[in-house]
Each structure stands twice: as structure tokens, then as C-alpha cells.
A and B are shown apart, each in its own frame.
Chain A
Amino acid sequence: MASKQLLALSGVSKEFPGVKALNNVSFDLNEGEVHAIVGENGAGKSTLMKILSGIYKKDSGEITYKGKSVSIPNPFEAQKLGISIIHQELNLMPHLTVAENIFIGREDVFPGGVFLASKKQTEAATKLLAELELNLNPNDIVGELTIAKQQMVEIAKAVSYRGSVIIMDEPTSSLTPAETEALFKIIGTLKAAGKGVVYISHRLEELEKITDRISVLRDGEYVKTLKTTETDIPEVISLMVGRKVAQDQRPENRNIGAEIVLRVEGLSDLKLLKDISFELRKGEILGFAGLMGAGRTELARAIMGADPKSAGKVYLHGKEVKIKQPSDAVAAGIGYLSEDRKRYGLLLIQDITFNIILSSIPRFSNKFGFLKVKSAAGIARDSIAQLRVRTPSERQFLKNLSGGNQQKVVIAKWLTRDCDVLIFDEPTRGIDVGAKDEIYRLLTKLAEDGKSIIMISSELPEVLRLSDRIAVMCDGRLTGIIDNKDANQNIIMELATKFSGNAISAN
């Protein structure tokens, strides 16, 4: 493809206090091209994107856009140049319509500039959506759409700026396979229109389908750019992590204790969960598979007492425990690692030590309520070494750590609390291949040390690789629990789509 260069970065560096986020990185993008940037967490992808979209300023290096050297001091300037970014977390106004969201800040107005010309705006939106072949109604309220459709709104919004470069940060992380296919079609349309797409994803198998080139970053350094047709996933992975990663594994035969540590009986909630019962043994990893919205997170939160139960009992070591609020669950020895670390797991503006001792503060204080600062810092340093958290010191603030390292801090928090039962909800979400491997090893080791683990995951290879048994949920019900040796992806998917009669007609 003989195409013109849209965007080029050369020798871009960026430093944060204590962290060299980018070191002399180069990258370029052509018209009608999808160019992926991959790398482990902390490799510098986000930083690079934020420089391109004007959120951060580069310390050094040059950015060339359509042949001219440019500076991008703020997001507004990026948009004016024609660089749009679609963030992983969508930035839409849920109470406004599709059309209003697309044209937010650039509303069509009647002469005089006071009254909104809603009809004209709706027409413009309709035209734009048709152009992109998006199946959306401009008058729908965005908050009522599925995540996938909301993402389409973001794409329409990005295109509406008539820019040439669209950056997509993990666009498929919350999409179903069918929705992902639809997104790829839209990307195809954008390519055909001569736009350049910068594509960031942890799902490497997607890259083969839609990208033209793949650039690999590692530890803030540029590693290599590959033509997609001339490479394969194992090569990309080995460039990312600097070593080979085994795929499609199953757990070795572990010694699982006879003791039933956790027993849940007839648990229901007011909205979704219906009559769920299961047992968890000492040293066992029980995987929870299911589609989005099957109720796995709701189950975890109900067990934790974070949301109310309408029926059901929870037994620990054979004794019933009354769990009315999370502190009851934690006191009984159950820890929960949320899928949404930033919202439910971390104190981002506090340091590592604070986060690690958060659920065990009474242990780090004397009888007068004074903190034992030294022993807290000690346990934090031990955890950092043990879990290999990449940080200059235990006093680093959490917001300065990468996703994988933040996750390790959450794990350290629960290890410090020494819970018998740990509920991991999507433990590797937003975490790159290399760090994933580390988290897998950690989970296995925890089970070997006698912890009982519930692992909720939407990635089937992950479930199959780690779980001793696999519980499958569908529409708030437990549709089956199978031994790992009897399980494969097909069986799990079958159970995950076993809607009851009512549910099917309701859908």
C-alpha cells in the first residue's frame, strides 16, 4: 500500500518523578492504516497516547503531523489538529442522547446562539451514523445503551471531528465476540476512508485480524515494529516480555484438602441471583465462568455483604457466619479483589504501605490506637519484594503505578490480612501477558499454601488453566460445576448460555 504518512513521533521521552515512562520512543502511522501498540503494563503505551492526545507534555522528541512539526499542548489542540482518542473508560454523558453526546460542545444553534437547533443536530447525527454504517438511533439516551453501542457513539464522536487519526485504547475490553466483530467492521470503514487508527489492546489474537503493523514497547523503550502479515502471536509476546510464554495450559494435579472451607447455600438477591449453592475446599481454586451480566460479580458482592441478600446462608469451616456488611466477611476471613481496582480496591492518592495495611490496621497498632509505622513499612517492603512490585519505594503513591503493579498491591493487602478465602474478580483485567503469568503463578502458589480461591474470569483459557473445578453461571443461576479434566471451552459455553425458558423470551 503506497500511502502517505499521517503522523510520526521520533525520540519522544517522558519522565515522571521516579519513573522513566518513555525513553526515546519512535512511532509512525500512515493513511488507511491500523497500527497497533502493544506492551506489558508499564511499558509506556498509555503515556504515549496521552502525549499524542495532549494530556501530557513530552519532555523531548519531535511529533510530525502531515509532514509538519507540531506541538500538542492540550487535548483541545489535539482535536483541532485532527487527533481523537477513545479512552478505555468511556467519557459520555449518560443522561444525554446519542446526538447530543456526539456534538457536545459544538451544538448546532439558531442564529443568536442561544437556542439549540436540535432537529438539525439530529439530522447531522443520522447522516454521520449512516456514513459509518452504525446501527444507532440519534435520539436514544446513551445511558440506556449497551457498552458496545456506547463505544460506537464514542467512535462516531471521534469521526465527527473530521480528524485523520483515531486512537483506540483497549476498545474491546468490555465487548462480546459479536460486538467485537462489529467494531472491526467499523474500523474497516475508517481505514477505507483513509483514516489512521492507533490501536491498543491486550488481546493479541485481535491484532492478526485488523492491524497492518504492530509496534512493541517494553519498559518505556521502543523495541520493534513488525508487519502483521510477517509475524505471529508468539513472536509478539516474546518481544513484549523478552521470553516465551506458554499458552493453553491446565493445572497440575494439586493436593486439595478434604476440608470444606466455604459453603454457600441457597443464596439469592433481590435482583439477579437465584438459589446458588456451592462448596469450596481448602487449597482449591474454583473458577467462575459465564457471560457478562451472568451475576458472578453480584454473587461475590453478596457473599461479601457489599450488597444485600434476600435468602441464603454462608458457612465457613462448617459454621454459619452472618455477613451483613463487608467487615463481617473480612472478619470471618474472606477477602474480595474487585474487577474494578480503582473504584473498589485502591486508595489511589495514598502510598503503597497505606494500601497494603488497609484491611489489617488493627494488627499494625498498639492498644492505645497508635500505628506501628515501622512494622507497617516493613511488611510493605516484604510484600514488594515477594510479589515483585515495580516501584522505587514503599512510599510511592498508587496512582503512579501501572495496572499490574496496582493489582499486586491489592493482592498484598489481602495476603497481609491473611484471609482463608480469597475471591478474585477478573484478576488479570487490563493486565499484560507477562504480568498475567506472574499473577497466575501467584494464584497457584496461594492455593498450594492452603488458601481457598474463587476466581471469576471472562477469559476461558485463564479459567481452564487455573481452576480445579469450574462453576458456570447464566442469568443469575448456577448452571453447572465441572471438574477441570471434564471441561473444555465448548462445554463451558454451553452451560453459560443455558438460559431458562423465561429468560429467553425476555431477551
Chain B
Amino acid sequence: MSDVAKKATQSEDSNKVMAFVRREIGRVTAIASLVVIFAFFTIMRPVFASWANVSGGILMSTTVIGLLAIGVTFVIITGGIDLSVGTMMALVAVITGKTVMAMNLNVWQGILFGMVVGTILGAVNGILITVLRLPPFIATLATMKGAQGLALIVSDLKPILFTTDVKGWDAIAQGNIIPNFPNAVFILLLAAVVASIILNKTVLGRYTFAIGSNTEATKLSGVKVDRWLVAIYALCGLFVGLAAVVMTSRLGSAQPDLGLGYELEAIAAVIIGGTSLLGGKGTISGTIIGALIMSVLINGLRILELQQEWQYVVVGIVILLAVYGDNVRRRRAGESTH
């Protein structure tokens, strides 16, 4: 190979690396921040990095928010939003608890049932948005309040203690198929991989990006946008159902009033992970990193014995920094910003 040609391939290679970094800069910075935050707490309190804290503290507390955030990622990439995932999760939990008890379902039937209920509730959101032409913010605000009330009504305002009656329900989250590795974390990772494949390799994922990039153009290209939107909100609901199952297993009961507020944490994780609220862009891995950043922060601040109220303030600042950093990056790239 001549020198000139060699030089050309070399610069081509470095161009490729640069292009990769430029394309993935959002995730690269997210991972870097996660590492920096983790290192900071480890230096401050070495116990932070112990496996007991990492698995039982950080990872375990990421699972429910992480699952919700995976579902919400799909919705946000379409340019929509789902405010109902938190209270929907509580509703799925109590419906599942009641049904499992009434029908004597086994653990597998119970898991499946929870996911089906979640999917149906998600589809309801999708139908409200497409058939009634409600903006996603309004539709899911309404279902958020509706689900909050229904969860209390169905449960008669009381926690439903059903988990001890079902053999193996506790093990959904707490067990260890892999030694020293909580099942809930395993479920989250599995869900992330499956979601990532759906988002990047399937028709549904492709339409998720298309709708978020330009709904009108997608419609005029002959895509049945309404139908796909219902499917996408239903898919979000499926992850909500899974989150509900994991939640009940962790708590040992279905708590009708536990869910409100989770939706905002899930949305925050998605945004920290680099998914654009404008739609058309986003990754599952980013969302998982975003959820991890939040739970690492909360856990670390707790270990530093920072008061709860200050923990909230720090999380707020991190969200600001994440979105601001994203905007700066976009502006440099000449893209539109939020």
C-alpha cells in the first residue's frame, strides 16, 4: 500500500472513530458521568462499592423505575409522554393481587396476568390518544388520576397481602437464579435487552422512531400511525405490568397508594439517558444508564448521610445538567434544541 493510500485509510479510520463518538456522544457522556459519580462515592465511603450495597442497594432500587423507564422510552421516542405509569403500576398490582388470590393462580400465571393487565391499560392510553385525539399529556394525566383512584377502590384502601400465599412469588424479585445476583436485577437486564431488540431491530421499533421524527410524513407514507401508537402505548403498559409484579414481590404485598411520583422518576431517567423529548431519538441503554445514575446518586447521598430533602435538590440539579449538556451538544451539531 502506498503512503498516500495508507494515510487515507488512517484518516478514514480516525474519521470513523470520531463519527462514532459524535453519534454516540450522549451515551458516552452518560456512562462517563455514571463512572465519575460512582468513583466519587467510592472514594468518600469505600463501603459504597461493596457488592452488598451495589446489588442490594443500588441495583435493586433501580429495578422498578428502570422497568417503567424502559416502557416510557418508547412513548417518548414517538414524541409522546406517559404520566400514568406510576399509578397504573399500583392499579396493576392490586388487580393482580386480588385475582391471584381469588383464582388461586400460580406464580407464572400471576406474572402473565399482571403483564396482560398492564398491556390492556397501556392500550387504553393509546386509544384515548388516537381515537379521541387527545394530546398524550392530557390523556395520560387523566388516566394517571383515574388509575390512582381505581387502585384505592379495588383494594378497598388496604394493602393486599397475597404474596405469601403464592409459592415462589417472593423469589420473583428476591431470589437468586444467579448466585448473589437478585432476580429483579436479572429481570431488568433481560427486559432491557428485549426492549432494545424491539426498538432497533423490529418494525414496531422502526415506526416508533418514524412517528417521533415526523408523524405527518409517516402517515402520508402509508403507515397506520394510529394503530402503531396504540401498540406502542400497550408495549409501555406491558413493562408497567412487569414493574408491578416485581414491585409486589419486593414489598411482599400490593400497595394501592405506592406509584404516584414514580412516573416522573422514570421520565427523568429517560431524559438523563439522552432520549429527546421532541421525539425521534433515544436508546434503551441510555435509559438504563439514566436510571442507574439516579439510584447511584440517591444511594450515595444516603450513605453520605445527606438529608432526604437535600437528596431531592441534588437530583433536580442532575436533571438540569443532563438536559443542558444535551442541548449544548445539539447546538454545536446545529440541531434543534428543546
Contact = CB atoms under 8 A, between A and B. Distances in A.
Given A369-B204, A371-B203, A347 B210 contact: yes
A329 B335 CA distance: 33
B223 A358 contact: yes
A225 interface: no
Interface string B118-131: 00000000000000
Interface stretch (B39-47, B212-220, B246-254, B320-328): B212-220
Nearest to B205: A371
A345 B207 CA distance: 15
A349 B202 contact: no
Interface stretch (A213-221, A330-338, A497-505): A330-338
B213 A347 contact: yes
Contacts of B206: 354, 361, 371
B334 to A, nearest CB: 8
A304 B280 CA distance: 25
B213 A362 contact: no
Nearest to A414: B221
A42 B133 CA distance: 40
Nearest to A417: B222
Contact of B214 (A327, A330, A348, A359): A348
A345 B220 contact: yes
A201 B201 CA distance: 43
B213 A325 contact: no
B193 interface: no
B216 A343 contact: yes
Contacts, number: 82
Contact of A326 (B22, B202, B220, B281): B220
Contacts of B221: 326, 330, 358-359, 413
A331 B203 contact: no
A350 B216 CA distance: 15
B207 A306 contact: no
A182 B9 CA distance: 56
A350 B203 CA distance: 15
- The residue in A346, A348, A358 that gathers the most chain B C-beta atoms within 10 A of its C-beta is A358
Contacts of A331: 222
A344 interface: yes
A346 B220 CA distance: 10
A347 B203 contact: no
Contacts of B19: 17
Contact of A350 (B22, B201, B204, B210): B210
Given A358-B210, A362-B203, A369-B203, A347 B222 contact: no
Contacts of A349: 213, 280-281, 335
Given A327-B224, A365-B203, A306 B219 contact: yes
B331 to A, nearest CB: 11
B214 A346 contact: yes
Contact of A345 (B217, B224, B280): B217
Interface in B181-195: none
A369 B202 contact: yes
B233 interface: no
A115 interface: no
Contacts of B334: 56
Nearest to B224: A327
B209 interface: yes
A400 to B, nearest CB: 9
Contacts of A347: 209-210, 213-214, 217-218, 280
Interface string A408-452: 000001000100000000000000000000000000000000000
A306 B220 contact: yes
Interface string B270-281: 000000000011
Q: Interface residues of B toward A: which range?
A: 20 to 34
Contacts of A345: 217, 220
Interface in A444-486: none
A38 B217 CA distance: 30
Interface in A383-406: 399
A388 B80 CA distance: 36
A346 B217 contact: yes
Given A354-B209, A361-B203, A369-B204, A343 B217 contact: yes
B119 to A, nearest CB: 16
Contacts of B280: 347, 349-350
B223 A325 contact: no
Interface string B9-27: 0000000000100100000
Nearest to B278: A349
A399 B19 CA distance: 16
Interface string A300-341: 000010100000000000000000011101110001101000
Nearest to B209: A350
B224 A370 contact: no
Contacts of A365: 202-203
A326 B219 contact: yes
Contact of A361 (B201, B207, B281, B335): B207
Nearest to A301: B220
A331 B223 CA distance: 10
A350 B213 contact: yes
Nearest to A304: B220
Contacts of B220: 304, 306, 326, 336, 338, 344-345
A30 B138 CA distance: 56
A358 B215 CA distance: 12
- The residue in B204, B222, B280, B281 that gathers the most chain A C-beta atoms within 10 A of its C-beta is B222
A487 to B, nearest CB: 30
A343 B218 CA distance: 10
A361 B205 CA distance: 11
Contact of B217 (A325, A327, A344, A369): A344
Interface string A350-363: 10001000110110
B222 A329 contact: yes
Interface string A87-103: 00000000000000000
B148 to A, nearest CB: 34
6 contacts: A325-B219, A327-B222, A330-B222, A344-B217, A359-B222, A361-B207
In the complex, the 7 A-B pairs of residues with the closest C-beta atoms, listed nearest first: A330-B222, A347-B213, A359-B221, A358-B221, A369-B202, A369-B203, A327-B224
Given A326-B219, A330-B222, A358-B217, 7 more contacts: A344-B217, A345-B217, A347-B213, A349-B213, A350-B209, A358-B218, A370-B201
